[in-house]
Amino acid sequence: MHWYRKLSIKQKQVVWAWTFLAIPVLFYIVIRFYPTFGAIVLSFQNWNLLGAKTWAGLENYQRLISDPVFWKVFSNTFIYLLLGTPISLVISFVIAYHLDKVSFLHATIRAMYFLPFMTSAVAMAWLWRWFYQPVPIGLFNNILSSLGISQLPFLNSTFSALPSVLAPAVWAGLGFQIIIFMAGLRSIPQSYYEAAQIDGVGSWTILREITLPLLKPTIVFLVVFSSIGFLRIFDQVFNMTTNDPGGPLNSTKPLVLMIYDTAFNDFNMGYAAAQTVVLFTILLIVSLVQLYVMRER
């Protein structure tokens, strides 16, 4: 280890860093990158899992570009992102912020908000689908008609289907975001708040000047992670539209569902791989843009 002692502090840091990273990097390369590279290669081939792979050049991509369903799916995916992320983050922050200030039955209330996240997505999807049914069995429509309001089609309309599917996704994800926000809020040293209290600063100002800025790493995490999550939405759509997958008329179909369908119903692995590459590219660009915009200045 003599060479180690001769290194400068900075260089020692680098050695330590790579030592720590050695096994994980190996893991990610073998378990994640290698298959990803395989998927990229596959996007230029034809394969149905059973036979041999044949080269297809840019065929899969050309087919993708000229497929109107793909463009609908593309726009659906972005709608999920643009509606889902802001709405869920705002709601979850408000809840986390106020929950932080409450102590009576705090643990119970927190568990109540987290419970949806913990329960099986399949079970929850069926429940929500049941709630969306028309009278006589649908909970929401029963409530509406008892108030004299006419029924809403929810899942049965190309217009309201996507928001109807998004709602349980937001609902389930709230627990996750609330917990992360709470962890973030509780990481802020009390001394800041104590100092502000002494100075007689109002709570709005505290929120704006102290809490939110100190919460920034948490916010960055949640924005990027939730965006990835909504762009990758699958479970809710898959389980709620079993009667008309991605429907009605492709109005709820996100990209991951299209990939799943192409891969496991059509068994067209090459085409699915091409769609995966597109998804990957979208996610990468969106995340990089977000990280750049929210970077530490």
Partner 1 sequence: MSDIGIKASAATLNAAKPYNYNKRMEPAQVIRWTILFLGGVVMVMPIVFMMSTSFKWPHEIYNLMIIPDDPTIENYTYVLEDGRFYKWFFNSLVIATITTVSAVIFDSLVGYTLCKFRFRGRMVVFVAILSTLMIPTEMLVIPWYLMAKDFGWLNSYWGIMFPGIMTAFGTFLMKQFFESVPDDFLEAARIDGLNEFQIWWTVAMPLVTPAISALAIFVFLGNWTAFIWPLIVTNDPNLYTLPVGLTTFSVEQSVEWELIMTGAALATIPTLIVFLVFQRYIIRGVVMTGLKG
Partner 2 sequence: MKSLKKTILGITAGATIALSSGASQAVEINYWQYFYEARVNAIDTLIEQFEAENPGITVNQTTFPYADYRTKVAAAIPAGEGPDVVQLFYGWLNDYVEADLISPLPVDAFPPETIRKEFFPMVQAMEKDGQYMALPTAVRSLALFYNTRLFEEAGIDGPPKTLDELVETARALTKTDAAGNITQVGITTGMNAQDHHWVREVLIRQFGGEPYTSDYQTVTYDDNAGAAALQWYSDLQTKHGVTQSGFMDEPQAAFKAGRAGMHIDGSFRIGALKKTRGLEWAVAELPAGPDGTQSNYSSYWVNAVTSKAEGEKEAAALKFLAFITSDNAMQIWLDTVGELPAKPSAGLTDANRADPVFGPFISGLAYAKTTIFANESGQRQVLMDAMQRILLEGETAENAIGIAAEQEQVILDRYYK
Residues 93-152 that bind partner 1 (CB under 8 A): 95, 98-124, 126-128, 130-131, 133, 137, 139, 142
User: Quick one: which H or E segment has residue 54?
Assistant: strand 54-55
User: 194, exposed or middle or buried, with CB in 10 Å at 0-12, 13-18, 19+?
Assistant: exposed
Tokens of 159: 């217009």
Nearer to partner 1, 58 or 135 (CB): 135
CA distance 226 to 185: 18
Binding mask 257-276 for partner 2 (x = CB under 8 A): ----x--xxxx---------
Tokens of 234: 């699958």
When asked if residue 55 is in the footprint of partner 2 (CB under 8 A), the reply is no
**DSSP per residue, 136-201:** TT-HHHHHHHHTTPPP--GGGSTTTHHHHHHHHHHHHHHHHHHHHHHHHHHTS-HHHHHHHHHHT-
CA distance 273 to 291: 26
When asked if residue 78 is in the footprint of partner 1 (CB under 8 A), the reply is no
**DSSP per residue, 73-93:** HHHHHHHHHHHHHHHHHHHHH
Residue 249 binds what, of partner 2, partner 1, none (CB under 5 to 8 Å, by partner type)?
A: partner 2
When asked if residue 4 is in the footprint of partner 1 (CB under 8 A), the reply is no
For residue 63, the minimal CB distance to partner 1 (Å) is 18
Residue 74 binds what, of partner 1, partner 2, none (CB under 5 to 8 Å, by partner type)?
A: none
Residue 134 binds what, of partner 2, partner 1, none (CB under 5 to 8 Å, by partner type)?
A: partner 2
When asked if residue 90 is in the footprint of partner 1 (CB under 8 A), the reply is no
Three-class secondary structure of residue 45 per DSSP: strand
Nearer to partner 2, 141 or 211 (CB): 141
Q: Scanning residues 238 to 267, which ones bind partner 1 (CB under 8 A)?
A: 256, 259-260, 263-264
Residues that bind partner 2 (CB under 8 A): 48-52, 129-130, 133-137, 145, 151, 156-158, 242-245, 247-249, 261, 264-267
